[in-house]
Amino acid sequence: MRTFDYKRADDAHSAVNAHSGQAAAYLAGGTTLIDLVKLDVMQPERLVDINRLAYDAIETTAEGGLRIGAMVRNTALADDDRVRRDYTVLSEALLQGASRQLRNRATTAGNVMQRVRCSYFRDGVSPCNKRVPGSGCSAIEGHNREVFAVLGTSDHCIAAHPSDMCVAMAAIGATVHVTGPSGDRTVDFLDFHKLPGDTPHIEHELGEDELITQVSLDAPIDGSGSTYIKLRDRSSYQFALASCAAVVALDGDRITAARLALGGVGTKPWRAADAEAALVGQPATREAFKQAAATAMQGATPYKHNAFKIPLARKAIVRALTDAAARARGDTT
Amino acid sequence: MDSNNAPTDVAISLRVNGTLRKLDVPPNVVLLDALRERIGLTGTKKGCDHGQCGACTVLINGQAVNSCLALAVVHDGDDITTVEGLARDGELSPLQQAFLDHDAYQCGYCTPGQLTSATELLNNDSVGSSDADVAEAMSGNICRCGAYKNIRAAIQQARGNPGLNQS
pLDDT band (50, 70, 90) for residue B163: low
pLDDT band (50, 70, 90) for residue B167: very low
Q: Is residue B167 part of a domain?
A: no
Range in A149-153, B138-142, B143-147, B158-162 the model is least confident about = B158-162
Is the CB of A104 less than 8 angstroms away from the CB of B64? yes
CATH code, domain carrying B151:
1.10.150.120
Is the CB of B71 less than 8 angstroms away from the CB of A34? yes
Q: What is the pLDDT of residue B166?
A: 45
**pLDDT tens by residue, B144-154:** 999 999 999 99
Q: What is the pLDDT of residue B7?
A: 77
Which residues of B are less than 8 Å from A1 in CB distance?
A: 28, 30
> In this model, does residue A259 exceed pLDDT 80?
yes
> In this model, does residue A318 exceed pLDDT 70?
yes
Amino acid identity, position A149: A
Determine contact, residues A229/A201, Cβ cutoff 8 Å.
no
DSSP collapsed to 3 states, chain A:
CCCCEEEECCCHHHHHHHHCCCCEEEECCCCCHHHHHHCCCCCCCEEEECCCCCCCCEEECCCCCEEEECCCEHHHHHHCHHHHHHCHHHHHHHHCCCCHHHHHHCEHHHHHCCCCCCHHHHCCCCCECCCCCCCCECCCCCCCCCCECCECCCCCCCECCCCCHHHHHHHHCEEEEEEECCEEEEEEHHHHECCCCCCCCCCECCCCCCEEEEEEECCCCCCEEEEEEEECCCCCCCCCCEEEEEEEEEECCEEEEEEEEEECCECCCEECHHHHHHHCCCECCHHHHHHHHHHHCCCCCCCCCCCCHHHHHHHHHHHHHHHHHHHHHCCCC
Q: Is residue B165 part of a domain?
A: no
Residue B19: in which H helix or E strand, if any?
strand B19-25
Determine contact, residues B111/B148, Cβ cutoff 8 Å.
no
Chains A–B, number of C-beta pairs less than 8 Å apart: 88
Q: What is the pLDDT of residue A331?
A: 79
Helix A309-329 with A286-296: angle, nearest 10 deg: 140
**pLDDT tens by residue, B25-45:** 999 999 999 999 999 999 999
Q: Which of A47, A95, A105 sits opposite B65 (nearest CB)?
A: A105
**pLDDT tens by residue, A184-242:** 999 999 999 999 999 999 999 999 999 999 999 999 999 999 999 999 999 999 999 99
Q: Is residue B111 part of a domain?
A: yes
Q: Pick from B85, B111, B145: which residue ends a domain?
A: B85
Mean pLDDT score across all residues of chain B? 94
CATH placement of domain A224-329: 3.30.390.50
Rounded to a whole number of angstroms, the distance from the CA of A321 to the nearest CA of chain B is 24
Q: What is the pLDDT of residue B154?
A: 98
- What is the domain extent for residue B128? 94-159
Measured CA to CA, the distance from residue B158 to residue B167 in angstroms comes to 14
Is the CB of A30 less than 8 angstroms away from the CB of B69? yes
Same domain, residue pair B11 and B76: yes
Q: What is the pLDDT of residue A105?
A: 98
Is the CB of B140 less than 8 angstroms away from the CB of A34? no
CATH code, domain carrying B71:
3.10.20.30
Q: Is residue B141 part of a domain?
A: yes
Same domain, residue pair B66 and B99: no
Measured CA to CA, the distance from residue B36 to residue A113 in angstroms comes to 31
Is the CB of B7 less than 8 angstroms away from the CB of A31? no
Neighbours of A283 (CB within 10 A): 12
Chain A residue with Cα closest to B48: A35
Q: Which CATH number fits domain A5-49: 2.60.40, 3.30.43, 2.40.10, 3.30.70?
A: 3.30.43
> In this model, does residue A258 exceed pLDDT 90?
yes
Q: Is residue B143 part of a domain?
A: yes
**pLDDT tens by residue, B33-91:** 999 999 999 999 999 999 999 999 999 999 999 999 999 999 999 999 999 999 999 99
pLDDT band (50, 70, 90) for residue B123: confident
Q: Is residue B119 part of a domain?
A: yes
**pLDDT tens by residue, A260-298:** 999 999 999 999 999 999 999 999 999 999 999 999 999
Is the CB of A102 less than 8 angstroms away from the CB of B28? no
**pLDDT tens by residue, A183-198:** 999 999 999 999 999 9
Q: Is residue B166 part of a domain?
A: no
Q: Is residue B49 part of a domain?
A: yes
pLDDT band (50, 70, 90) for residue A182: very high
- Which residue spans within B26-117 are E strands per DSSP? 57-60, 63-66, 79-81
pLDDT band (50, 70, 90) for residue A119: very high
Same domain, residue pair B78 and B98: no
Question: B28 and chain A: CB distance < 8 Å anywhere?
Answer: yes
CA dihedral A263, A265, A266, A267 (to 10 degrees): 110
> Averaged over A144-158, what is the pLDDT?
98
Q: How far is CA A118 from the centre of its chain?
A: 16
Question: What part of B 120-159 touches A (C-beta under 8 Å)?
Answer: 120, 126, 135-141
Whether this model's ipTM surpasses 0.90 comes out as yes
Determine contact, residues A27/A44, Cβ cutoff 8 Å.
no
Work out the angle at residue A317's Cα, subtended by the Cα atoms of residues A313 and A320, and round it to the nearest 5 degrees.
130
> Averaged over A21-31, what is the pLDDT?
97
Chain A residue with Cα closest to B58: A101
Is the CB of B7 less than 8 angstroms away from the CB of A4? yes
CA dihedral A238, A239, A240, A241 (to 10 degrees): -90
Is the CB of B140 less than 8 angstroms away from the CB of A101? yes
Chain A residues interacting with chain B (CB cutoff of 8 angstroms): 1-6, 8, 27, 30-31, 34-35, 37-39, 45, 47, 49, 51, 75, 79, 95, 98-102, 104-105, 236-237
Q: Pick from B59, B85, B111: which residue ends a domain?
A: B85
Instruction: Compute the half-sphere exposure of residue A259: CA atoms within 13 Å on the CB side of its CA.
Output: 25
